[in-house]
Each structure stands twice: as structure tokens, then as C-alpha cells.
Structure 1
Amino acid sequence: MSHTPTATGRRFHARNLRVAQKLQAILLIPVLVALVLGGVRVKRSVDTWQTAKDAVRVAELVQAANTYASDAINERDVSVIPLVKGERDSDTVAKARQITDQDAKRFDEAVARMPRTASLERRVQLVRAGEKRLAAVRANAFTANLTGVQTEESYHAVQHPLMEISNELGFGISSQATFGRTLYAISLTQAAESLIRAIGTHLLVEDRSKLAPGELQSQLASFSSYVYLEQVALQEYAGFAGTDDVARLRKALANAEVKGRQQIAEARTQAEAAGRTFVPPPRLDTMTSAIASGATATQLTERGITPATFFAASTLSFDAYRSVEVYLTGTALSEAHDIADDARNDAIVNAALVLTSILVAFLLANWVARTMSTSMRRLSTSAHAIAAQRLPARLTQLTRTIPGRVDSDVEPIPITTTDEIGEVARAFDHVHREAVRLAAQQALLRANINTILGNLARRSQPLIERQLAMISDLEGREADPDQLEYLFHLDHLATRVRRNGENLLVLSGENPAQQWDQPMPLVDVVRAAVSEVEQYERIQLSGIPEAQIDGRAINDLVHLLAELLENAAAFSSPHVPVHITAARLPDGRTILEIHDQGIGLPHDELADINRILADPPTVDAALSQRMGLFVVGRLADRHGIRVQLRPSHEQQGTTALVMLPRTITHRPAKEEPDADTMALVAFVDSSFTKNAPHTNETWDNRPS
């Protein structure tokens, strides 16, 4: 026994995927792999770019820090002679401090841009701690509160943390790892030379007789230790620096010696021109050794070692070290920028390659799928158009076609290929053609049935008219009340039989054979409809306005109202009346209401009945239970009358609303309606919604 797969199983089966989906599924795995690998590569490039940008900011911070540190210790050195001599308002001191303060601001700006790492934050905090002591150092330099060595070494609190930031160079970039140690070594050399310059100048300027006990020995010890530190720093620099950087330092020191000899030559020339004796100063290392030996100022002067000559020679070395430091910081920043630019370009290129590759893969898959599925989509589109539009429209057309004028030709699906898709298209054309042919046969059969119904109705109508005439003749000659009442019942039965015959004419699409040529009052039309109802005595009229009904619509309106009244009387208690009222609207229309107190109708059934009344369907066996309402819908559609059933405003029952258009009603002219009247008209129009079930809530809350 075979088993049919469920709809869900078939829907999600791989064989039911579209051609485009299958092709995309084939390319899905390699595309996903390429996407993952490309994404990893792009992410790595982006991370490198971000790391390189951080390295740039670190290099900018190191550059600002080294400039700040160099100018800070230079401020100390150039301030030694003025401050020792008591010239605390010297322009030299003020200018040096101004330069340091400007460097501090530029350092703050670099700190604001730096990466927020723990090591950098810690180093910046050390700088901030040293900066807090700078104001006190400046105020107490070379006073009793701060001796010479203390003054000279106090700048270390600011300079050393700034110098140590150089160790952060190469943040995340291995190619710059040696820059930090090399730069730190040259900065340490520069700092040692600065201290040698500051202490040596102080020893040459200061009156040693005024020094506190032990201070001279302290200064000489510090001076010697910094001379040793400079040599250690130079050795460390040579160990970390490359060949080019070592050569660069040697060249800078050689240039410094050349400048020193030029300065000595210029000083000799000036002395000879002034007639003074000129004692040429020795080399810087000789001056340093002489000062460290503890010789007096007089002894040193005799050898040509004065504050001016020593400061000038030491400054040349200081500037040489600083030039190398500036070069290294500039090189570090330049290389960081180059790495950042390369990383950015690499990230952009990688992202572009990944996106382009994926885009090309998808475009290729879509192009292949489109070339393979164009005919399939055309077949599917045509099939849906036939099923949803063309075939229903053709069937509707065939249901309204006059017999003998049925055309069963169909437009073929526009696929001319001879492959399997073309064969399916031809098979679907055959199905379409067969469906139209069967619909044409049914339309022809329905038309023949309508013709038969019309012929039967026309044949029975004369007989019923003769029967009614005979009953009327008997009623005119009968004097017995009981017999007369019996004849009245026969008269109403015959009238109902005649209306059933007219129903057959309506179902067959025939118009009434006789029409009135003169208008008739609405009240007479309503009374004529009441007279055709078997329980006419239960029907009560009230409020019928003075309106005239067009002669062409009189018979159909009488028939329509009679069917509604018959239903109202048949489906309500025989002991309660059926009310019919009417109202004339200011815009010329007239509305009639038929109220019964029957058992009422369910909400869903009311909705179905209103749909039939608004748009009567084709006659079939399913409408046999509501044939009267179908006839009402046909008659209403013929004259533009709107009919709707609603729950009654009473506790039970149903209300039938009949809206007569201006085209079939006539009334005397009236002045322009006021705002309240037009509001009522708008309310009636809005509440009379086509094909919608209604409750009595909206209608009963209408304007009075």
C-alpha cells in the first residue's frame, strides 16, 4: 500500500526548490567559506588599521612628551646664571618658562587623543604628579628652601616621566619595537648632559664661600655621577640603535665640535680686536674632568673654563643629542603614519575584493538561474493569470452570453519552445480550452433552462389571469359572507401563484410584459403589494410620504415589496402585526422599512442574505431555499434599488430596508435642506454599506 506524502513534507522537499534556489544552494557553501575567510581577513586588516592609528597617536604623544621634557630641562639650565645672581625677573627665565608652558598645552592635547591603555594612563599620571611640583620648584629655585643640587634634580620629577613615555613606542607594531629603547637612551643621554651643564654652570658661577657645609661636595659628586650616567646612556644607545642611528649621533657630535671650534675662533678674533688676552678653552671632556676635580673657579678660568665657555660647549652636545631625539621621534611618527596608511589601504582593498567576489558570485548565480528559469516563470505567471483573471472573467462572460453566441477560443501561453516546459504550456492550454468549452456548454444549458422557465411562466400567466377574473366575477355575485371569504382566500392563493410565475420570469431574465405608463402614488404601490400577501390583514402602514413611483418600476416594486412582506408575515407570529413605514430624504430618495417580530436571523446568515441582495449570483440549486430573496435582489438590481436586512431594534425580529433612488421617485420641489437634514442623508448613506452585515445599534442611534 503506497503512502502519499503530506503537504508539509512535499513543501519542504529539496526537489521542490526553485531552479534559482538550487543554483544558489550549490554556490552557498563556497560563498559562505569565502565570506568567512574574507571577513576574517578584513577584520584583521581593520584591527591592524586601528592598532596603527593607535600607534600614530602614541608617536604623537611621545613627540610632544620629548619636546616638553627637553624644553623643561633647558629651562632649568638657562635659568641657572640669572637665578644664582638673583635676577629672578630675567627675560631669559620668563621666555624659557613660557616655552615650557606651551609644550605642556601641546602635551595635554596629545593626551586627549592617546589610546586609553593602562600603561599610558599610569605614565600620564606620573607626569601630572611631577607637574604639580613645578610651580614650587620655580618659586624656590636656588634659594635657601631649595639648594642648587635640589633645584637641578627637582626638574627630574617632570622630565623623567615624560622621557619614560618613549618606552610605549611601537604600540601593537613589532617593526617599531626598538624605537622606544633607542629613544629612551638618547633622551637619558640628553638629560644627563643637561644636568652636567646645569651643575657645572652653577659651580662656575656660585661663590663657593657662600655654600653650605657639604654642599660643594654634594654638587661635585652629583656632577661626576651624571658624567658617568651620560657614558652609560651612550653605551645603551649604541646597543639598541642601528648602524645608521649610531652614525647619525657621531655626525651630530662631530658637527658640534666643528661649531665649537668656530665659536673659539670667533672669540679669539674678538679678544685680539679688543686687546684682551685670550685663553682658548679646552675640549668639553677636559672641562668636565677639570670641574669634577674640584678646582677653584680661578684655576678653571686660568685654563679658559668660564661659565660662558662651558655652557656653550655643553649646549652644543645637548643640541646634538636633541637633534637625534627629534629625528627619532619624527621617524617613529612618520613610520606609524605609513603603517596606518598601508593598513587602511589594505582594509579597503580586502573589503572591496571580498564584496566584489561575493557580488560576482551572486550575479553569476542569478544570471544562470534567470537564463534557465525564464520560461518557467513565464509559464507560472501565465498559469496564475489564467486561473485568477482570464478564466474567471471568461466564465463570467459565458454566464451572460446569449445562446448561440458562445466563443470557446482561448489565447495560448506565449511559450513557443519544444522542450518539456513548452509541452507543459501546451497541456495547460488544452486544460484551459476544455474548461472554457465546458463553461460554454453550461452557459448554453443555463440559457436553455431560462428559456424553458420563461415559456412555462408565460403559458401559465394567461390561465392565472383568467382564474383571477373568474374568482372576481364570483365575488361580485356572491352574497353569502362565508362563501365570499372563501373566494377571497382563493383570490389570494391565485395571486401568489401568479407571483410565483412572475418569479420564473425574473429568474429567466425576462422583463415584465406590461408596464404602467403613468406614475402612481407610493402609498398605492405599497397597498398593491400588501394585497398580494396572504396575511394582508396583519400588515400595518404608517407614515407613507407623498411620493410618485415611475410607471416603469411599479410592477417590479410591487413584486419586490410583496416578497419582503410575505417573508415578514410568514416568519413571525400570526398574532403580531408587520409594520411598514417610509420616509422621504431631502435628496429625493425614499426609504421604506418593514419590521417584523419573528425569531430573527443569525449574524452570519444575515451577512449571506445581504450579499445575495446586493449582488445576485447565478441561479443554481443552492438558491432554492432563498428563491424569493434572489428575486428581490434581481428586481432591485434592475432599478438601482438597495435592499438590506438587519436585526430589528426590538428584542427580536428583522427589519428590511428598501432605498428607492431618485430615478424612480417623484416629489414636489422643496427648499434647500438644512445642515441637520444633510447630516441625516450622510448618515443613511454611510450606514447603508454594501455587502456588510449590520446590527441595529448604528441604525437606532441615527439622528432624529
Structure 2
Amino acid sequence: RVPTRLNAILLIPVLVGLVMGGFQVKGSIDTWQEAQDAERTALVVRAASEYGQALLNERDLTAQPLLTGDAEAPVVGRARAATDAAKKKFDLAVRDMPAKQGLERRLSLFRAEEPKLVALRKSAYIEAVETADKSGGKGGPVATEEGYVLVQHSLMEFANELGLGTGNITSYGRTVYAIQLAKAAESLQRSIGTHLLVRPSQKNDVRNGQTIAFSSYAYLEDIAVGEYVSGGTSEDTVRLQDVMTQKAAEGAKKLTAAQQQAAAAGEDFVAPPSLEGSVLDGMVAAIATGASPEQLARRGVTPEAWMAASTAKFDGYTVLEKDLVDKAVADAAQISDNARNDAITNGAIVVIALLAAFVLAGMMARQMSRSMRELRTAAFGIAEQRLPMLVDQLSRTEPGRVDTRVQPIPIDSRDEIGEVARAFDQVHREAVRLAAEQAMLRGNVNAIFTNLSRRNQSLIEGQLTLISELENNEGDPDQLENLFRLDHLATRMRRNGENLLVLAGEEPGRRWNQPVPLVDVLRAATSEVESYARIELTGVPETEIHGQSVTDLVHLLAELLENATTFSSPQTKVRVTATRLPDGRVMIEIHDKGIGLTAEDFADINHKLANPPTVDATVSQRMGLFVVGRLSDRHGIRVQLRPSGEQAGTTSLVMLPDAITHGGGGEPLPADDFTVSQLIPDQPDPADEPVFQSAPMLTAAELGFDDSRYEDQAAQAAQDAADNGPRTLDPVNRTLRREERRAEVGTSTGEGQPVFGDGTDSHYREEVDGRYVPQQASYDQGYAPQQPVDPAAGFQAPDSGYNAYQEPLAQPYTEAVYPEPQSPETPYESAFAAQPQQDEWAGQSTYQDTYEAHRPTEAESVPDAPEIAQDRVGFDRPGPSPSSSHTLTDAGLPRRGGG
């Protein structure tokens, strides 16, 4: 590559120049290192100064409370806490201390004295006073003051290690040490003076010793100040005078304020004495006379006045010390920065001078390669991430809600690479525009589907209403049967119209919020299939479907049943069974004996059922497959197709999640009924139990259902289903009303059996005549919404057409999941008080029929089965059938027993 060749040309001379310039750079780095050591030393000195000041404040501020016996005073705790904090800060500073002999020696001296602070705090003032009083002055109370000096003095000595890299090293360190010494002497005067004013020793010799020490430290302060002036600069001397003048003025203001406050309170105020205009010097002279505290108080020298005046001067020394130490830190940091800058500058000059040619060539090569890299990265990002993500968002969201702005590739050059970037930006814009137009086109198509379907649905609903009125008013059995066929055809038309709504991503307008038995859902789905006479329901467990999912489940099952009847011989039956699994789910099996599918077709269809595709031309060819996928995804239902196993044809497995099912399990299937569950042979019973006992419940995997293809879609779909709002059961009610009308007019086809009958219709007709005829009035009125019922008035709502409820009805079956309340009126009241309304047509009456527990088994159908009632939707095993005992659940639905 060109960049590699250019770099190789200048590599050898650059290496030689770097070796020769390295010596000069190393000298600058050594200077920088020395300056850094000086900066770290200054930081240690500052931390030591703060630590020493905290020790002095602890000794002075705690003198009065400890001398008066108040060891728990708040000021004691605060002062000692401040000292502990300063100690931690000092310990952190010495961790980064340069490894110099002088610093290490002074640190070892301080570490030897520091442990004495614990014992010193324990015996501060109180034990010292007691010792002095009992021992005749041996040790004396001055031991506390001087004990703190031993610890603090070793911290002061760190100031002598200040080194700023100039000829003023000794002078500057001497100045800092002198001001620290003056501050320490002032602090000793403050603590001893407080001691003499609060609790002087009762022995004359000890008290005289205290007075002498007080005067001695005043003299030491003057010596330290003279040393500061002689060792410092003229600016330091001026600074000292300014600070002391300022502090004296502040003290005078405080004194005046105290005098005014006493006068306002009507109290006597005695101003402390002054010497040559200095109140502090006047009080020092008064205390040095050895007068008693009472005598001094009469002259205005009180512990409070003394502490205020001496603290003002102590603070002045503190300000000067802090300024000097901060200046030392700042100067050391500046020298360190200068040394670092010199090292960097020298090194940069050497490197730049030797690498100029190489850098220029490298920059050109790097710029070209960087532009190519950016262009390549941006192109791959757009092709592999941006455009696919945008297309996916446009397919799931309205185009107006998707950000379709194109971010240009960040290449601003005007060369050929920049021109390629601008051309690619234009291609990107065109691709985004086409994707947005395609999404808008899909949205328009969906809107067309929705509008056409809504219009068609409105007409069909009107047609169904008219047919229902004709059925309710028709007394001729043959003519009523023709109306039923017309009703069935219109129902299928409505389902086809709803397919367009599903294609458009909309939901049907029919809504219901009551749970419905699974067998009624299967019947409703059967009624929407053209060859409904070939469908047989067997082994349906007693479970109920959540009202929010009923309408879509009916639609889904109808599509699968339509597919099973279409692609199988007209002379065969389509068997529908259901099984409750141990985990609470319910699996519906739809078996046909059709032409079947290849393994590739099964894999493709199952993939599309689990991941419904977007609407395109291929969807219109397999609309049922798309509708089933969309509806199952909406409610967390899983649908799979598989071969029928031992028989020819296809088996559709519909797995209903526990979130939309209610109720208990069902009865075992007859041994001659083939289902997926029969593929697993029963295990022999070692205990030789009776054969009528049910086999253990099989899992989904044992029944052939593959749960591994689904990840976390079930929980999300169930949550989405809960947010979709309630729907009603119009298909179920229409199926039940159709059978009631057949019973009312005494219609019979074929051999005279009702469609859902059991072959012996005499009992059924007798019960119908006694129970269902009064309901004709409600159907003639167009299924008006029911009003809440007063429990005390019986079970007859206004204009409902139902017989009045006089006493609790007999319960022929046991109810395992929905127990009957103690009060017979409660379920009816709760059911009718919250009767839902439909969105696009009037509300309809709640059906009130239950089903008998035992029916004669219907034999397997033979080819060319006649179109008679008992062959349309029969049962090959005992199952639910209409009954005269109209017991309801708490939701107002037919109660189903356990047999």
C-alpha cells in the first residue's frame, strides 16, 4: 500500500534522530521529576500545618469546658472530630510523599510523638488539675498545654523541607516556620490564660509557675515575629501588619457590639483594659500580674473576652501561615508545570523536526484510508442496519411516525471519495423514499380493506338481523330450515369479510366480556363452515374461554375447519377433539383424512403460523393461513400442523394458553377414536386397576406439540390480548338460538332428531315446550339489551321473555371450577347487572341452556352420508347436549357439569 511505502522511506533517519534527541528530552524529564517532588512536599507541609492547627484549637477550645468538669460539652466533640479529620488528610498526603531522607526523618519523629495524643486527651486539664492539687505542684496543669506542644511541634518542622527549586529554599522555609512558631506561642498564651481565668491552681507556687509560663510564651511570640520579619520579604512584613490591623479592628467592633448589647439589656459592662491602644496587650499585662479570676473579672478580663481577643490574633497568624503554605504549593505546582511543559516542548521539537516528512506522508495516507474506512463503514451500516430497520419500522408503524430523514455520510472532502459519499447519500434517500411510499401504499390498501369490510359487515349484520326476525316468526319447519341455511351462508360471508379486517390489522366490532364454554365455541366455529355436517365434536373438556378471546378463537377454528373440510373427501368426517394438559393449557385437535402435505410444506406453514408475514400477493392466495397466524399471535395461541400419523391427512393442533381458558378437565376418549393423544400407547397398569379409570394426563410434547419453536411470544401475546378489550359471542348465541328455534317449531330433518340431539327427542321436545317457547318474545324484539334484575322480583327481566325464577333449579352436575353461591339470586343479579353492549348492533339476550351428561354414541360415518340433522354436528361419545335445567354460572353462561 502507498501509506506503508511512504512510511518506510523515512523510518531509518527518524530512528537515528530520535536516539540523538532522546538525551535532551531525558534531561527535561529529570527536571520535571524534581519539580513534582517539590510539589508533593509542599502538599505534605500544608497537610501538616492544618493538622497542627487542629491540635492547637483542640487544646485551646476545650480548656474552659474541661476545667469546669464538662467533658461532654459539644465543643469538645467538635474540636476532637476536626483533629481526627485533619489527621486522615495528613495520612493521605504522606502516602504520596517523596522518598527523601529529610522528610522520612521528620515523619518518623512525628509518628513517635503522635500516639501520646490518646493519653493526653484522657488526662487533659481535669486529671492535670487533680494531680497538681494533690501532689503539691508536681507536673502542674501546664503539662496539658506543653503535652500538645510535643505533638504539634514535630508537625511544624515539616516546613523546613520546603524546596521550590530556587535559591530561596532556606529563606522561605524559615519564614513559614517562624510564623508557625508565633502562632504556637499565641496558642499557648490563649490556653494558659484561659486556665488562669477559669480555674487557676490553689497552690501559690503552681499558680506562679503558670503565670511565668504565660509571660514566657508572650516573649517567645515576639521573638518568632521578629524572626518572620527578618527572614521574609518586605511584602511579608506589610502583609503581617495589614492582617493584625484588620484583626484588631474586628476585635474593637466586637467589643463595641458587646457594650451596646449590655447597655440595651440594662447590665453593667466593664471594658477590658488596653495597652497602647491594644486590648489584647492590656489583658496580657493584667493576667501576668497574677491576680485572681474575680479581680480580673472586675477589670473586664473575663474568659470570654480573653478567648475572643486572643483568637482574633491567632486567626491572623493562621491567615499568614495559610497564605505562605498555599503560595508554596502554587509555586511548586507552577514550577512542575513549567518543567513538564519544557520536557514536552523539547521532546515535541525533536520529534516534529525528525518526523516532519514522515508525518506529512502518513497524514495523507491516513486521510485517504480514513475516508475509505468511513465510507465503507457507513455503506455497510446503511445496507445492513439502517435500511432493514427502517423497512421493518415502516411495515409495523404508520409512515408519519417513523423518522425517514437521511443522515449524510460524515465525509466533507471534495475529492473522488467525497463525491462517492454524496452519490451514496442520494441512493440512500431514494431507497428510503421508495420504502416510505411502499409503506404508505400498504397503509392505503389496509384502509381500503377496512372500509370495504366495514361496509360489507354492516350490510351482512343487517341481513343477519332480518334473517333472525324471519326465523323467529316462521312456523313452517321446512321453510325455517331454508332460513337456517341462508343464515349459515350469511355467517360465512361475514367471516370472509372479517378476514379483510384481519389483513388490515383491525379487529371485528363484535364484542363480549363473558366466558363461554369451549364446546359452544367449537359449535360456533362449526356453524361458519360450509360442510358443517361432516364435522364431529368428541372429547371436549368442560372448560370455558375468556370472553375477550372468543370471537377471534371462533374465527381461527372456523378457518382451520374450512381448510380440513375443503382438502378432504366429502365422504369422510372431520374429527375435532380437545385435551386439557397438566400445565393448565388446552389443546384442540382437528383431524382430517385429506391429501396431506409434504414435510417441506409443513415446515413452511408452521413457520408462517408462528411468524405471520406482511400482506402481499401471496397472502391473498392463502388468506386463511395468514388469518390464523394473525389471530393466534394476538392472543398467544399456538397453532401447528402435522401429519395425522397412522391415518392419511393432516392434524391441526391448536394450543390454548391457560390465560384464556377456565374450568376443569374432560372425559377420556373412546379407544377407537384416533387423536394425536392416541399415538402414545397407554402404559400397562401393574396394579391391575379397573379399565374405566382415566389414563394420566399427557404433556404437550407427548401429544406431538413442539413448544421449542416459540420463545417468549406466549406471555407477550397474552398481555396484548388482555389489552384488546372485551368482545361478545355473537356466533355462539346465533348457533344456540338456531337450535332453540328448531325445537320450538318442532322441526326435524331426516329421522326427526335435532341437530345436537341424542336420537331420543321426546324428552327434549317436552323440555323445550316447557322452557324455550317463552323466549320467543325476546328474539322478536331484536335482542334488546337487558336491564339489571332485582333479585327479589324473580328471574324475569323486563321484556326479556324468560320465565320468572321461583326457586333454585336442580343442579344435575357438579361444578368444580365455578361453585354455586349460597344465595340463589346472587348469580342472576351479577350476570344481568353487567350485561355488555355490542358496538354496532343492539345487545342480545343471554342464552340459558345446559347440556345433558350422557348421550348414545354415534357410529362412525360412512361414505356418502346423507344430509340429515344427526349427521351434521354429532357426538361419537358422551358429551354435552341441551337440557331443560337452565342453571347458569356467575357470568350468566350455561353451567356445565362434570358428569
**TM-score interval for Structure 1 and Structure 2 normalised by the shorter chain:** 0.3 to 0.5
TM-score by length of 2: 0.36
TM-score by length of 1: 0.46
Higher helix share: 1
